[in-house]
Protein backbone atom coordinates (compact mmCIF):
# COMPACT_ATOMS: atom_id res chain seq x y z
CA UNK A 1 0.00 0.00 0.00
CA UNK A 2 2.79 2.41 0.92
CA UNK A 3 4.60 1.84 -2.37
CA UNK A 4 1.66 2.88 -4.50
CA UNK A 5 1.02 5.86 -2.22
CA UNK A 6 4.60 6.97 -2.87
CA UNK A 7 4.01 6.88 -6.60
CA UNK A 8 0.71 8.74 -6.29
CA UNK A 9 2.45 11.51 -4.34
CA UNK A 10 5.04 11.75 -7.14
CA UNK A 11 2.17 12.15 -9.59
CA UNK A 12 0.88 15.07 -7.54
CA UNK A 13 4.32 16.68 -7.76
CA UNK A 14 4.22 16.58 -11.55
CA UNK A 15 0.53 17.16 -12.25
CA UNK A 16 1.16 20.37 -14.19
CA UNK A 17 3.58 18.63 -16.51
CA UNK A 18 1.44 15.51 -16.82
CA UNK A 19 -1.38 17.64 -18.23
CA UNK A 20 0.77 18.24 -21.34
CA UNK A 21 1.37 14.52 -21.89
CA UNK A 22 -0.88 11.78 -23.21
CA UNK A 23 -1.38 8.08 -22.78
CA UNK A 24 -0.12 6.02 -25.70
CA UNK A 25 2.21 8.74 -26.97
CA UNK A 26 4.40 6.11 -28.63
CA UNK A 27 1.59 3.93 -29.96
CA UNK A 28 2.55 4.74 -33.55
CA UNK A 29 6.20 5.76 -33.34
CA UNK A 30 7.36 2.92 -31.07
CA UNK A 31 4.44 0.63 -30.15
CA UNK A 32 6.55 -1.90 -28.24
CA UNK A 33 8.28 0.65 -26.00
CA UNK A 34 6.16 0.08 -22.91
CA UNK A 35 6.30 -3.70 -23.20
CA UNK A 36 10.09 -3.56 -23.51
CA UNK A 37 10.33 -1.47 -20.35
CA UNK A 38 8.01 -3.87 -18.58
CA UNK A 39 9.90 -7.01 -19.57
CA UNK A 40 13.20 -5.42 -18.59
CA UNK A 41 11.90 -4.40 -15.18
CA UNK A 42 10.40 -7.85 -14.60
CA UNK A 43 13.72 -9.50 -15.42
CA UNK A 44 15.64 -7.37 -12.92
CA UNK A 45 12.90 -7.65 -10.29
CA UNK A 46 12.85 -11.45 -10.49
CA UNK A 47 16.59 -11.47 -9.87
CA UNK A 48 16.54 -8.81 -7.15
CA UNK A 49 13.20 -7.62 -5.67
CA UNK A 50 14.95 -4.69 -3.96
CA UNK A 51 15.16 -3.05 -7.37
CA UNK A 52 11.53 -2.01 -6.84
CA UNK A 53 12.13 0.59 -4.11
CA UNK A 54 15.39 1.53 -5.83
CA UNK A 55 13.61 2.50 -9.06
CA UNK A 56 10.84 4.26 -7.18
CA UNK A 57 13.41 6.29 -5.28
CA UNK A 58 15.30 7.03 -8.50
CA UNK A 59 12.12 8.42 -10.05
CA UNK A 60 11.39 10.46 -6.92
CA UNK A 61 14.85 12.02 -6.95
CA UNK A 62 14.47 12.84 -10.63
CA UNK A 63 11.08 14.49 -10.22
CA UNK A 64 11.82 16.44 -7.04
CA UNK A 65 14.70 18.49 -8.43
CA UNK A 66 13.41 20.03 -11.66
CA UNK A 67 10.58 17.82 -12.80
CA UNK A 68 10.53 14.32 -14.28
CA UNK A 69 13.01 15.07 -17.06
CA UNK A 70 15.45 12.20 -16.66
CA UNK A 71 18.26 14.55 -15.65
CA UNK A 72 19.15 12.21 -12.77
CA UNK A 73 20.31 9.71 -15.42
CA UNK A 74 22.93 12.01 -16.97
CA UNK A 75 26.50 11.01 -16.11
CA UNK A 76 29.18 13.57 -15.37
CA UNK A 77 31.39 14.84 -12.57
CA UNK A 78 29.06 17.74 -11.74
CA UNK A 79 25.79 15.96 -12.62
CA UNK A 80 22.86 15.39 -10.24
CA UNK A 81 23.62 11.71 -9.78
CA UNK A 82 26.99 12.59 -8.24
CA UNK A 83 25.51 14.86 -5.59
CA UNK A 84 26.00 13.57 -2.04
CA UNK A 85 22.26 13.04 -1.64
CA UNK A 86 22.16 10.83 -4.73
CA UNK A 87 25.22 8.64 -4.18
CA UNK A 88 23.09 5.77 -2.86
CA UNK A 89 20.76 5.65 -5.86
CA UNK A 90 20.45 2.36 -7.75
CA UNK A 91 18.66 1.12 -10.82
CA UNK A 92 20.46 3.08 -13.52
CA UNK A 93 21.37 -0.16 -15.29
CA UNK A 94 17.68 -1.08 -15.63
CA UNK A 95 16.91 2.14 -17.47
CA UNK A 96 20.07 1.86 -19.58
CA UNK A 97 19.16 -1.70 -20.57
CA UNK A 98 15.62 -0.80 -21.56
CA UNK A 99 16.85 2.27 -23.44
CA UNK A 100 19.37 0.20 -25.43
CA UNK A 101 16.71 -2.30 -26.47
CA UNK A 102 14.31 0.46 -27.51
CA UNK A 103 17.00 2.36 -29.42
CA UNK A 104 17.70 -0.77 -31.44
CA UNK A 105 14.21 -0.67 -32.94
CA UNK A 106 13.09 2.96 -32.44
CA UNK A 107 16.20 5.14 -32.45
CA UNK A 108 15.81 8.65 -31.08
CA UNK A 109 12.11 8.28 -30.27
CA UNK A 110 11.54 7.31 -26.63
CA UNK A 111 12.92 9.55 -23.88
CA UNK A 112 14.82 8.25 -20.88
CA UNK A 113 12.48 10.30 -18.70
CA UNK A 114 9.52 8.29 -19.97
CA UNK A 115 11.36 5.00 -19.52
CA UNK A 116 12.04 5.88 -15.88
CA UNK A 117 8.42 6.90 -15.29
CA UNK A 118 7.16 3.67 -16.86
CA UNK A 119 9.64 1.58 -14.88
CA UNK A 120 8.50 3.18 -11.62
CA UNK A 121 4.88 2.36 -12.50
CA UNK A 122 5.82 -1.22 -13.30
CA UNK A 123 7.59 -1.86 -9.98
CA UNK A 124 4.51 -0.61 -8.13
CA UNK A 125 2.48 -3.20 -10.02
CA UNK A 126 5.06 -5.92 -9.37
CA UNK A 127 4.88 -5.27 -5.62
CA UNK A 128 1.12 -5.91 -5.61
CA UNK A 129 0.19 -2.27 -6.05
CA UNK A 130 -2.16 -0.95 -8.73
CA UNK A 131 -1.31 -0.56 -12.39
CA UNK A 132 -2.45 2.28 -14.61
CA UNK A 133 -1.72 4.01 -17.88
CA UNK A 134 1.21 6.41 -17.64
CA UNK A 135 0.97 9.55 -19.78
CA UNK A 136 4.12 9.81 -21.89
CA UNK A 137 5.80 12.29 -24.20
CA UNK A 138 8.37 13.77 -21.82
CA UNK A 139 11.50 15.30 -23.24
CA UNK A 140 14.83 14.54 -21.65
CA UNK A 141 16.48 17.35 -19.76
CA UNK A 142 19.87 18.48 -21.01
CA UNK A 143 21.03 20.17 -17.81
CA UNK A 144 22.03 18.15 -14.76
CA UNK A 145 23.83 19.92 -11.92
CA UNK A 146 24.75 18.38 -8.59
CA UNK A 147 24.14 21.75 -6.94
CA UNK A 148 20.44 21.51 -7.81
CA UNK A 149 20.15 18.32 -5.79
CA UNK A 150 20.18 20.49 -2.67
CA UNK A 151 16.44 20.76 -3.29
CA UNK A 152 16.12 17.13 -2.20
CA UNK A 153 15.33 16.33 1.43
CA UNK A 154 18.42 15.08 3.24
CA UNK A 155 18.44 12.60 6.16
CA UNK A 156 20.72 15.05 7.95
CA UNK A 157 18.21 17.93 7.83
CA UNK A 158 15.64 18.71 10.52
CA UNK A 159 12.03 17.93 9.72
CA UNK A 160 11.22 21.64 9.53
CA UNK A 161 13.41 21.90 6.43
CA UNK A 162 11.77 18.81 4.94
CA UNK A 163 8.37 20.41 5.42
CA UNK A 164 9.50 23.60 3.69
CA UNK A 165 10.86 21.67 0.70
CA UNK A 166 7.71 19.59 0.35
CA UNK A 167 5.48 22.65 0.73
CA UNK A 168 7.38 24.29 -2.14
CA UNK A 169 6.25 21.36 -4.30
CA UNK A 170 2.63 21.64 -3.18
CA UNK A 171 2.93 18.66 -0.83
CA UNK A 172 1.85 18.38 2.81
CA UNK A 173 2.98 16.48 5.92
CA UNK A 174 1.02 13.39 4.91
CA UNK A 175 2.93 13.29 1.61
CA UNK A 176 6.22 13.83 3.44
CA UNK A 177 5.71 10.86 5.75
CA UNK A 178 4.43 8.67 2.91
CA UNK A 179 7.46 9.32 0.72
CA UNK A 180 10.35 9.78 3.12
CA UNK A 181 9.14 7.16 5.57
CA UNK A 182 9.09 4.54 2.82
CA UNK A 183 12.24 5.68 1.07
CA UNK A 184 14.24 5.72 4.30
CA UNK A 185 12.76 2.37 5.33
CA UNK A 186 13.82 0.67 2.10
CA UNK A 187 17.32 2.12 2.07
CA UNK A 188 19.62 0.74 4.80
CA UNK A 189 22.12 3.55 4.25
CA UNK A 190 19.47 6.14 5.01
CA UNK A 191 18.28 4.16 8.03
CA UNK A 192 21.66 4.56 9.67
CA UNK A 193 21.21 8.34 9.51
CA UNK A 194 17.72 8.49 10.96
CA UNK A 195 19.13 9.10 14.45
CA UNK A 196 20.11 12.57 13.24
CA UNK A 197 16.52 13.50 12.47
CA UNK A 198 14.39 11.60 15.00
CA UNK A 199 11.66 14.25 14.89
CA UNK A 200 10.57 13.06 11.47
CA UNK A 201 8.95 10.03 13.07
CA UNK A 202 6.84 12.19 15.37
CA UNK A 203 4.74 13.55 12.53
CA UNK A 204 1.40 11.80 12.73
CA UNK A 205 -0.95 11.15 9.83
CA UNK A 206 -4.49 12.12 10.76
Is 4 marked as binding a ligand? Answer: no
Q: Residue 122 phi/psi, 5° resolution?
A: -65, -35
Report the half-sphere exposure of 110 (CA within 13 A, side-chain side). 31
The rounded distance, in Å, linking the Cα atoms of 202 and 94 is 35
Q: Is 62 annotated as a binding residue?
A: yes
Would the annotation count 107 as a binding residue? no
Separation of alpha carbons 126 and 4, rounded Å:
11
Please list the active-site residues: 61
Q: Give the residue ranges of DSSP H helices in the chain.
A: 2-13, 15-18, 33-47, 51-66, 92-105, 112-126, 159-168, 173-185, 188-191
Tally Cβ neighbours within 10 Å of residue 22.
12
149, 86 Cβ separation under 8 angstroms: yes
- Is 96 marked within a binding site? no
In the chain the first and final C-alpha atoms are separated, in Å, by 17
- The answer to whether 130 is annotated as binding is no
Q: Is 173 annotated as a binding residue?
A: no
* Residue 65 annotated as lining a ligand binding site: yes
User: Reduced to 3 states, what is the DSSP secondary structure of residue 22?
Assistant: strand
Name every residue whose Cβ is closer than 8 Å to that of residue 135 and which is 6 or more positions away in sequence. 18, 21, 22, 23, 25
Annotated binding site for Ca(2+): 62, 65, 67, 69, 71, 80
Annotated binding site: 62, 65, 67, 69, 71, 80, 153
Annotated binding site for substrate: 153
Amino acid sequence: MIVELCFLVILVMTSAVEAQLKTGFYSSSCPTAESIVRSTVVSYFNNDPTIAPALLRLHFHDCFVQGCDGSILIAGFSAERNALTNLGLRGFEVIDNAKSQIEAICPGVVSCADILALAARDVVDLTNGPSWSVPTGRRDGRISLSSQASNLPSPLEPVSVHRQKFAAKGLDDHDLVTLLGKLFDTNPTFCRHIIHVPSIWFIRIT
